[in-house]
Amino acid sequence: MAKGKGIAFYPFVITNHLPRATRHCERMGIAMPTPVRSSGSLKWVVLVMATGAGASIGCGSGDFVPPPPPELQGALGGAPGTTVESLSPSGAAPLPIASLGVRSLELILSGRVDEEETEVEKSAARQQAGYDKARLRISVTGERPSDQGQSVATPTDQASLVRQAVARHPQVLIVEPADPADADLARAVGEARAAKVPVVLLGRPLSASSGSNAKPASPPVAPEILVAPPPFADSAGQLVAAAIRNAKNAKLEPKGGALILVNTAADFLSPDRLAALRAALQAAGISAIEELRFAKETQDAHKLLVQRLRADSKPVLVFSIDSRGTAASNQTVAEIVTERPFIQAGYTSEDTQARMVAVGEFAAQAVYAPSKLIRKGISTAVAVAQGRDVPPRVEVEVVMHVSPEKSAAPSMQAQMRKQSESQRKSQ
């Protein structure tokens, strides 16, 4: 800490992905740095972002974003993901907040998502490791060599990465399974546990057997813990039910069909949400289901949706599996809903549109933030490393927002757009 005339400067280390910093902060719910008042003083505290050689963080190098100093913990409201209830199973007594430093965690990401999404995951992991005072090494399956101290490509199979990590003797190993049915990965995880390395799985359990010839370990193996959202069947069912209800209120025929906006570059659990939506639609008697696929770009999704809705008057339900699809659907509502009415509902990672649901612009929204899965995985691993009791399953919540019973087709944005155009013409 450097002191000046009534000002305390605290250096913060940031990642070297500055062009994406703003998007990362928005998607992870992190506020950009602003002046705050110290909890123990009336002096202004200025947060200074330290750049230079020490600011660069290498993938898999073991570096992490350090936590705020103790003087700032109260002013910043504590560490995300480390609230007293964050690791508690439903109905269980809360666990204490992490306070002891952890010397060595290893995170192995699936590499099954878009490069930008992978960087979001890395940033979320480093943020949480910094807040939890844990040293973290990150590996990504099949990652190419880079200028961040990585000279050779990372192995393309996660089993090799797991075995390499175990050889470094981490306190806890965190794995985002690329393929839950990978038998070799299951064997490698079993070997890690037999070597007394606890394993935290992210998103999905391993469905493959670790081998029929494996003998019971003696002494007992280290624990395996799953950090995951609840099954998406429930949230998908609520999205479909609300959309069908609003369509009927608007005198639209739900069985005319449904369109699902599918971002092929979304997080690695997006196929699960897509499957859950399809199953819920089929269970509701809607068989005409079409997927509109796009890769990252919201404007591409918007164009696809506008073209499809104008070409066919039958589909009246539009769903999305992530925030980008939801943004594209909402843009389309504002543009054409008066001439081509439809109902929108879907998943998003940003809990910022609850009011739009409350006024019926969305039939419903399910809020699931992939970055929270990573953060919860890190904080769970920290709790395990510190010897605290952790349940075998730790859930990352999916928050539902459902529109009022009498909601129909969205109209508010279209009306505002029409008023705005009228005002421009009159000027």
20-29 pLDDT, tens digit each: 444 444 444 4
**pTM of the prediction?**
0.74
Write out pLDDT tens, residues 89-113: 543 434 444 445 789 999 999 987 7
* Helices and strands per DSSP (H, E), number in the chain: 12, 16
Of 36 and 251, more confident: 251
For residue 70, the model assigns a pLDDT of: 44
pLDDT tens per residue across span 258-277: 999 999 999 999 999 999 99
- At residue 116, the pLDDT reads 84
The pLDDT of 24-43, averaged and rounded, is 40
* DSSP per-residue string spanning 58-116: -TTSS--PPPPPHHHHHHHTS-TT-STTTTPPTTSPPPPPP-S-EEEEEEEE---S-HH
User: How many CB atoms are located within 10 Å of the residue 400 CB?
Assistant: 15
Task: For helices 270-283 and 232-249, give the axis angle rounded to 10 degrees.
Answer: 50
Residue with tokens 């196929």: 271
Whether the per-residue pLDDT at 47 is higher than 90: the answer is no
State the amino acid at position 415 in one-letter form. Q
Can you give the residue ranges of every domain in the chain?
232-369+399-424
96-100, 140-144, 214-218, 262-266: segment of lowest average pLDDT = 96-100
Going by pLDDT thresholds of 50, 70 and 90, the confidence category of residue 208 is confident
Top-level class of domain 232-369+399-424: alpha beta
State both tokens at 88. Answer: 């508690």
What are the C-alpha distances in Å from 8 to residues 11, 37, 39, 48, 77?
A: 10, 11, 13, 10, 18
pLDDT in tens, 151-191: 455 667 899 999 999 999 999 999 999 999 999 999 999 99
pLDDT at 152: 56
Sequence-distant (6+) residues with CB within 8 A of 419 are: none
- Can you give the pLDDT at residue 39? 37
Nearest to 131 by CA among 95, 102, 165: 102
